[in-house]
Amino acid sequence: KVLILDFGSQVTQLIARRVREAAVFCEIHPNDVSDEFIREFAPKAIILSGSHASTYEDHELRAPQAVWDLGVPVLGICYGMFTMAVQLGGKVEASDHREFGYAEVRAHGHTRLLDGIQDHATLEGHGMLKVWMSHGDKVTVMPPGFKLMAETPSCPIAGMANEEKGYYAVQFHPEVTHTVKGQELLTRFVRDIAGCKGDWIMGDYIEEAVAKIREQVGDEEVILGLSGGVDSSVAAALIHRAVGDQLTCVFVDHGLLRLNEGAMVMEMFAGKLHAKVVHVQAEAQFLGHLAGVTDPEQKRKIIGREFVEVFKAEAAKLKAGNDKLQGAKWLAQGTIYPDVVESGGTKTKKAITIKSHHNVGGLPEQLGLKLLEPLRELFKDEVRALGVALGLPADMVYRHPFPGPGLGVRILGEVKQQYADLLRRADAIFIEELRGWKDEATGKNWYELTSQAFTVFLPVKSVGVMGDGRTYDYVVALRAVQTSDFMTADWAELPYGLLKKVSGRIINEVRGINRVTYDVSSKPPATIEWE
Ligand code: XMP
């Protein structure tokens, strides 16, 4: 496996993604781990990330000595290149201004890392690479034993290598997609240079993960909050595979789920997988607490709080009534790798709260339970592949994300049962039509072509005409976005024919809604959800 040392760049996770895409397992750890940690990790290669720090002069930001003592290949990226240069006896020159953006680097001489990897070649036969650069400081003197690997007019040492030792460094970022051949370069490094096999596949992972869960849990009991979302579903399926009936899933139905979702979750887990699932029907409790509340943040807080209350009560019942005497000892959660890295990073800047996300942090301590998080090492696409390998239906595993507070944030203002029922039906029509509408050019349907799509209930009435009569009914907005990270998003250019069909069906089939609009706002400045 490969060790990625994180110096605090915004894109370190992308390095891990690319390495995993090369079918090589890797983990990200902070740059200041101990030498013992690195020796125990026994990496086949090490990658040093970039950093938010604008200068190499921060002496805290260095790679541990073990990196250089292990005798394995090392790749330095951006800041990683600076620290490699400085630690091995080269020089970096500080500069006040920083340059970002596209650049073309020219390969210099032959190196194992870059040979044959190029976007085009110059007349003299030099390989040219289109890359994403972000540099201010520059390496001005290479350490002894290094040779020049790449250059640009503004950055004469844009890449360097000590091939004997397997040390490579690039000033640009191969992990971002703007660097066209970045994936090839990283694959070359981990597979050809470091000799990693490229056999990281989900099938094998199941056995390993199952063994690990069994060892961790022993004969103790586990409880898990099932939400119907991808992560908790895959976690449940995996833990069930490992410990069977020692797992009890608690499915809290807050009455703000999509149409037939409750039945679907029960059918899948209780019906097909034969897992123990407690279905808590708490609709009345949630809607009761939400009555009269219109403020979005307050609604989220209420839903989050009630969720914890219900879950705690169920867990207490399970603990008390357990026939194995010891009761539940573990709380399982579908935490995935991006959650871990985001919350664990000491270097991430504190973001302002735009929306307080539903989370159950602190729950394990309150319940006196140990935390079991079997998906902690996986990215979303890996979690999905794992779900399919575990036998979950692809439809479920490839669903769009659904927020914890559910329809609670898709009904503007006060949440009422009547609104939720209308919204559920309208939303089901929208999703059904998206799935059924194929795009000729790509062969994919529009559910696959969008990252998230849903319907929003607007508690305003407008006038319409139906048959001979006048109607005075509610409005819904359709929302469909395309995004790779949900931090920014564009509204999807859905075909007019599709919009027309959806609108026609909703207005005809859902009595109580007589107007459909389409949301054409990007994020930012709008957000994906309306509340
Ligand atoms: P926004 O609306 O902030 O949403 O652009 C970005 C993504 O986050 C999801 N979202 C949530 N997910 N609990 C969740 O689990 C929440 O409270 C929550 N709020 C927003 C949203 O659906 C979108 O995918």
ipTM of the complex model: 0.97
The span from the CA of 531 to the CA of 405, in Å, is: 10
Task: Please write the tens of the pLDDT for every residue from 52-65.
Answer: 775 667 777 899 99
Q: Is-contact 249 236, C-beta < 8 A?
A: yes
Active site residue 509: no
Helix (H) or strand (E) run with residue 303 in it:
helix 296-321
User: Distance, CA 183 to ligand 1 centroid (Å)?
Assistant: 30
427, HSE (Cβ side, Cα atoms, 13 Å): 27
Rg over CA atoms, the chain: 27
Strand order in the sheet with 221-226: 276-281, 247-253, 221-226, 328-332, 370-372
pLDDT mean across residues, the chain: 90
pLDDT of residue 125: 85
In this structure, what token pair is assigned to residue 359? 């989370």
User: Distance, CA 47 to ligand 1 centroid (Å)?
Assistant: 32
Name the residue of 452, 529, 530, 531 whose CB sits within 8 Å of the most ligand 1 atoms, as the mutation to test its pocket: 529
Torsion angles phi and psi, residue 360, rounded to 5: -115, 30
Catalytic residue among 175, 184, 306, 382: 175
Active site residue 196: no
Q: Which of 91-105, 264-278, 511-525 has the lowest mean pLDDT?
A: 91-105
Assess whether pLDDT exceeds 70 at residue 359: no
Q: Is the peptide bond before 393 cis (omega within 30 degrees of 0)?
A: no
Catalytic residue among 173, 240, 254, 358: 173
Which protein residue's CA is at the shortest distance from atom 24 of ligand 1?
Answer: 401
pLDDT of residue 465: 93
| DSSP designation for 406 | G
CA 326 to chain centre: 36
pLDDT of residue 54: 58
Task: Please write the tens of the pLDDT for every residue from 431-451.
Answer: 999 999 999 999 999 999 999
Active site residue 173: yes
User: Distance, CA 529 to ligand 1 centroid (Å)?
Assistant: 7
Q: What is the dihedral of CA 381, 384, 385, 388, to 10 degrees?
A: -170
Ligand 1: does its nearest atom lie under 6 Å from the Cβ of 143?
Answer: no
Catalytic residue among 78, 155, 196, 249: 78
464, HSE (Cβ side, Cα atoms, 13 Å): 18
